[in-house]
Amino acid sequence: MNQAFASRFAKSMFLSVIGLAVLSFIGTRMFTHVDLNLYGYMVGTIIFLGGFFYRFIAWGERPPTKIIIKKGIKLLFRKSTPKTSVEQLATYRFIWNRGIYRWTQHIMMGWGVILSCLVTFPLVFGWMYFTMDENGMYNIILMGIQILTVPADGLIANFSYNALNISATMVIIGVCMALYRRLKNMQARAEQKFLYDFLPLYMLLFISITGLALTFSNVFLHGFGHPVMSLIHQWSVIITLIYLPFGKLAHIPFRPLSVFARNYREHYMEAAPKQCKVCGNEFVSVEQSNDVIDVLQTNHIQFQTEDGHHLAELCLPCRRKYRMAQFSGFPTHEVKVKEANQNAKG
């Protein structure tokens, strides 16, 4: 089968588009429930998938990534995987250590984007749609099956109407918090670049504001300006989808692989921790240290010290001290003093 395609990217993209077409065929009952108003979003999503597979395959071909993916799959069924998945993908526990402000910011942006995707993508590909009965009952159809019938003026129906408004509000709050921090925090300001760090936030903000503007036009202006605002919103979404795999926002679809990395570190650290060759502190696992050495050798990179140790066998503080010693001539890597942030969390 691989010989029928020019590359892995071509095969992955072809199979994905075929899969989407099959799911849409089933969900729309042989394409009898297709909303042509969402056609632009569908095209943007397919282009996004192409960019995502290109970026993911290019990233996955790197030697370090191959190790994480290969060993992460083997460790996927650890007992701790459900807990790790919740902490990494749902509660963002790893960000909590950096402060409640940054945690709230990520919760708002992360879950706002996830909620909007859970609503938008099924609608775009026809996997989910809604119908209204003459008796005022609201039907939710998923993959051609009527899964729920509720009163049109009830709580569940109103949540369905406003799910995207809720997600847009969450994203706006999260983006504003991120912008405030990046503009006020001097360290953040020194490290940020407009195109890489600020532009993605402005794009998310623009999408959310134009989405809320559509609701405002329908509810308070009786549809005035709706066609123009609908096009503006649609184009903002499409451009963001096309840009997403190639910018900073790419970490959103890549985020689930953090579970692989966490399992990799925890499993091998429990099995055989590695002691630093200088200070004797345990800092990584023997497996991870050996993997780093192997990857560097694969790329023809040598980090051998004069004492015969590899830098991957030194903990981070001792590694810093060793580098300082090479520049200063003073053997700082032999000084038995811990750095103030050696055990910092976050």
Lowest model confidence (mean pLDDT) among 80-84, 192-196, 198-202: 192-196
Give residue 179's pLDDT: 93
Instruction: Please name which of 132, 140, 159, 119 lies closest in space to residue 38, comparing C-alpha atoms.
Output: 119
What average pLDDT score do residues 214-228 get?
A: 90
Mean pLDDT, the chain, rounded, equals: 86
Residue 172 pLDDT class (50, 70, 90 cuts): very high
- Beta-strand pair 137-142/145-151: antiparallel
pTM, rounded to two decimals = 0.82
Which residues belong to CATH 1.20.950 in the chain?
2-42+79-252
Give residue 109's pLDDT: 94
Position 236 pLDDT exceeds 90: yes
> What count of Cα atoms within 13 Å lies in the side-chain half-sphere of residue 311?
14
Position 344 pLDDT exceeds 50: no
Those residues whose C-beta lies under 8 Å from the C-beta of residue 324, and which sit 6 or more positions away, are: 330, 332, 333
Those residues whose C-beta lies under 8 Å from the C-beta of residue 212, and which sit 6 or more positions away, are: 165, 168, 169, 172
Give residue 81's pLDDT: 93
pLDDT digits (tens, 9 = 90+) for 271-299: 899 988 888 888 889 998 899 888 888 87
Residue 129 pLDDT class (50, 70, 90 cuts): confident
Give residue 212's pLDDT: 95
CB distance 148 to 139 below 8 Å: yes
Q: How far apart are the C-alpha atoms of 83 and 89, rounded to whole Å?
A: 10
Instruction: Please name which of 317, 313, 312 lies closest in space to residue 338, comparing C-alpha atoms.
Output: 317
Residue, of 324 and 243, whose pLDDT is higher: 243
Give residue 338's pLDDT: 57
What average pLDDT score do residues 178-195 get?
A: 84
CA distances (Å), origin 160, targets 156, 166, 213: 6, 10, 18
Position 187 pLDDT exceeds 60: yes
> Please, which residues bridge with residue 282 across strands?
275
Hey, what CATH topology would domain 2-42+79-252 get?
Answer: Fumarate Reductase Cytochrome B subunit (1.20.950)
Residue 302 pLDDT class (50, 70, 90 cuts): confident
Q: How far apart are the C-alpha atoms of 200 and 280, rounded to whole Å?
A: 43
Q: Where are the alpha helices (DSSP H) in 125-198?
A: 155-184, 186-191
pLDDT digits (tens, 9 = 90+) for 324-339: 777 777 666 555 555 5
Give residue 146's pLDDT: 87
